[in-house]
Structure 1
Amino acid sequence: MSVKPNVFCVAVFLIATVVGCGGSRDSAKSPTSDSVPVPASDKVAVQLNWYPEAEHGGVYQAWADGTYKSAGLTVDVRPGGRATPVAPELQLGRVQFAMANADDVVLFRREGMDIVAVLAVLQNSPRCILVREDSGVEDFKGLAGMTLQRQAGRMFLEFMRSKGFLDKVTEVPYHGSVSSMIADPKIAIQAYSFAEPLLAREQGVEVRTLMVSELGWNPYSSVLITSGKLIREQPELVRTFVKATQQGWANYLADSKLGNEAILSANEHGMTQEALDFGSKELTPLALPEGMAIDQIGAMSQARWKTLVDQMDALDPGAAGKVKAEDCFTDQFLMNGSD
């Protein structure tokens, strides 16, 4: 069975032994088995919120190294893009899981959608504004007079706007590429610190990253989400997928080779092996800040969720009180969770 460019779908079967990391790209792309098929309830689709990149590494690693297979899961990983309808796909039951950021979860719940975070990989946000070093911009105040390519409606923009950093900035759509910034030092782009910087440097342009977290906006990123309905009706399926994904992330941080090969096969938007290798190394301290053990990867706290909800309520007082922090997440399915 071959892998289509935009969909990773692997038929897997219940086995008794754990499949370890290793193997080749070809073996990962063409899994086969003559065993008894997995029950339909163990077929899982997960929708990504962007084109496949290192931020999705644990999912692709678990697919490629057999972690999902050893858990008895059939997993279909669906790449996203600029306008992927993540929450509607969950609400309509067309996928069982998806990737998002923590602020997305709050927005989804404000809109009345029963979306719950079950794993948060990046404890510190990789969100940054990327500028060329020769732009003369050294901090957020220096963005005045620049053109910023961004996705409209993102909450980090509203936070920046509330601080006055976008008052004299021209905002235009972001198309998922560093090319405009490469051509014009007066253009800045939204970015993740472990992806776009290397893509720019590969084209001969040195860049500076302005980390939005340094302004005080630091929601969890690379968050695995599902529906409250699935949690209530199929808790064991949720538990199995969450723990397999958690293990996939642990494996990816230890050795990202298979995961990155799988991502590269699925990404048709200018991704390179070098950028993925760079990304998988750079995101490690974001996923495992000092003092955090590998088996705690994905952990969440109510205090962090409350800070985020409070910040978002302050940015939009008309929506204040609609969402409670404790309803946004559960850690009951994680290794070392509350179960």
Structure 2
Amino acid sequence: MLVSRSLTSLVGLFLVVAIGCSRSKDTVSEITSTEGGTPIPRVAVQLNWYPEAEHGGVYQAFADGTYAAAGLDVDIRPGGRATPVAPELELGRVQFAMANADDVVVFRREGMDIVAVMAVMQMSPRCILVREDSGVKDFAGLAGMTLQRQAGRSFLEFMRSKGILDQVTEVPYHGSVSSLVADPKIAVQAYSFAEPLLARQQGVEVRTLMVSDLGWNPYSSVLITSGKLIRENPEQVRTFVQATQQGWKNYISDSAVGNAAILAANKHGMTSAALQFGSRELVPLALPNEMSIDEIGTMSQSRWATLVKQMEDLDPGSAGKVKPSECFTDEFLTR
């Protein structure tokens, strides 16, 4: 991958600002107390976006008591368009966070000791959303279109390497399908279990062009932590990972409690219908090919090796900087 200057600069800026700030009352403490004075771990998890179905297992575990039953006091922190996920982990302000697998490779390439400990979606939900009446039926048909996208993302560099974006005008993505609804010549980056319903609710039929069909298929909804926490407090990591894994099992079985918690936490126009759609549509992404629910969250060395190789091909200067085996560990998952 060709890491964008904006992404690299943004990570650096947040590191400088965060290090310069006083770590006083706002810093996450690792221990809190119950009313009886018994110490229990306090754990903060940083989301990489506004609360949505892709975070369902975390909210489910919080709302249905799974975290509490595991003896965890959990603080879920919503994200946004420029959430400094890796710096928050590196500085110890949070213990866990959500990301995508390609983000982990970027973080490690930049020298940050970030490790994936669970990957919920085996199949990437990343897609390009177009209107049915746009005439676009495949990626080649994007020529002449305007694509709203978040600059610097790895999937864009992969598409660019295939020549798909050669005749596409790229403009910033602002987290809305409104432009696509208004103009059939607009395409937007999307997740297959979210934006399609939002467009249809506004009376526009859409088609999803899945980026995984091009061969770009990194794990999504990945739970990450720091290598430092793994080394210093592996039991806390194990407890949180296994509780989150159970939360995802519960969410996939019945998402009602988790969706209610997400709806209460999302202040950006989320609807109950969108969450119901999302929680239903993400199931085949999390459990493809008749994968058992007991396997939720699992990862493989071969998948990580493929991703690292693809990103090295996009940016040959990065070759050898990241070892696939250091990007992840599955030792904390319930088997």
Instruction: Report the TM-score, using the length of structure 1 for normalisation.
Output: 0.88
Partner of 1:70: 69
Aligned-residue offset at 1:270: 1.8
3-state DSSP of counterpart to 1:87:
helix
Partner of 2:94: 95
Partner of 1:157: 156
The worse-fitting range, judged by mean Cα deviation, of 298-307 and 268-277 is: 268-277
How do 1:163-242 and structure 2 match up within 5 A? Answer: 163-242=162-241
3-state DSSP of counterpart to 1:68:
helix
Measure, in 2, the Cα distance between the counterparts of 1:82 and 1:295. Answer: 33
* Distance 1:38-1:260 versus aligned 2 partners, 3 A rule: farther
3-state DSSP of counterpart to 1:268:
coil
* Distance 1:13-1:249 versus aligned 2 partners, 3 A rule: farther
Aligned-residue offset at 1:56: 0.3
Measure, in 1, the Cα distance between the counterparts of 2:47 and 2:38. Answer: 23
The worse-fitting range, judged by mean Cα deviation, of 172-181 and 114-123 is: 172-181
3-state DSSP of counterpart to 1:119:
strand
The worse-fitting range, judged by mean Cα deviation, of 177-186 and 309-318 is: 177-186
Which blocks of at least 5 consecutive residues in structure 2 are unaligned? 1-27
Measure, in 1, the Cα distance between the counterparts of 2:43 and 2:38. Answer: 11
Structure 1 letter corresponding to 2:214: L
Runs of 4+ residues deviating >2 angstroms: 34-40
CA contact (8 A) 1:13 1:36 kept: no
Measure, in 2, the Cα distance between the counterparts of 1:267 and 1:134. Answer: 32
3-state DSSP of counterpart to 1:72:
coil
Partner of 1:3: none
Q: Cα deviations across residues 209-229 of structure 1 (Å, max 9, x unaligned)?
A: 000000000000000000000
Aligned-residue offset at 1:260: 0.5
3-state DSSP of counterpart to 2:224:
strand
Partner of 1:310: 309
Measure, in 2, the Cα distance between the counterparts of 1:300 and 1:320. Answer: 22
Partner of 1:326: 325
Q: Cα deviations across residues 251-294 of structure 1 (Å, max 9, x unaligned)?
A: 00000001101111111222111010010010001101123111
Measure, in 2, the Cα distance between the counterparts of 1:201 and 1:56. Answer: 23
CA contact (8 A) 2:32 2:42 kept: no
Aligned-residue offset at 1:39: 2.2
Aligned-residue offset at 1:100: 0.2
1:264 equivalent in alignment to 2:259:
no
3-state DSSP of counterpart to 1:311:
helix
Cα root mean square deviation, aligned: 1.5
Measure, in 2, the Cα distance between the counterparts of 1:332 and 1:75. Answer: 22
Measure, in 1, the Cα distance between the counterparts of 2:333 and 2:59. Answer: 19
Partner of 1:121: 120
3-state DSSP of counterpart to 1:107:
helix
3-state DSSP of counterpart to 1:55:
helix
Measure, in 1, the Cα distance between the counterparts of 2:324 and 2:316. Answer: 16
Alignment coverage as a number of residue pairs? 306
Partner of 2:8: none
Structure 1 letter corresponding to 2:113: D
Measure, in 1, the Cα distance between the counterparts of 2:197 and 2:88. Answer: 32
1:289 equivalent in alignment to 2:288:
yes
3-state DSSP of counterpart to 2:321:
coil
CA contact (8 A) 1:52 1:80 kept: yes
Measure, in 2, the Cα distance between the counterparts of 1:244 and 1:275. Answer: 26
CA contact (8 A) 1:13 1:35 kept: no
Measure, in 2, the Cα distance between the counterparts of 1:320 and 1:145. Answer: 34
Measure, in 2, the Cα distance between the counterparts of 1:37 and 1:148. Answer: 55
Instruction: Report the TM-score, using the length of structure 2 for normalisation.
Output: 0.89
Structure 1 letter corresponding to 2:299: M
CA contact (8 A) 2:60 2:261 kept: yes
Structure 2 letter corresponding to 1:271: M
Measure, in 2, the Cα distance between the counterparts of 1:77 and 1:148. Answer: 32
Partner of 2:39: 39
3-state DSSP of counterpart to 1:120:
strand
Structure 2 letter corresponding to 1:256: S
Measure, in 2, the Cα distance between the counterparts of 1:135 and 1:291. Answer: 34
Q: Cα deviations across residues 50-71 of structure 1 (Å, max 9, x unaligned)?
A: 1111000000000100000000
Structure 1 letter corresponding to 2:199: A
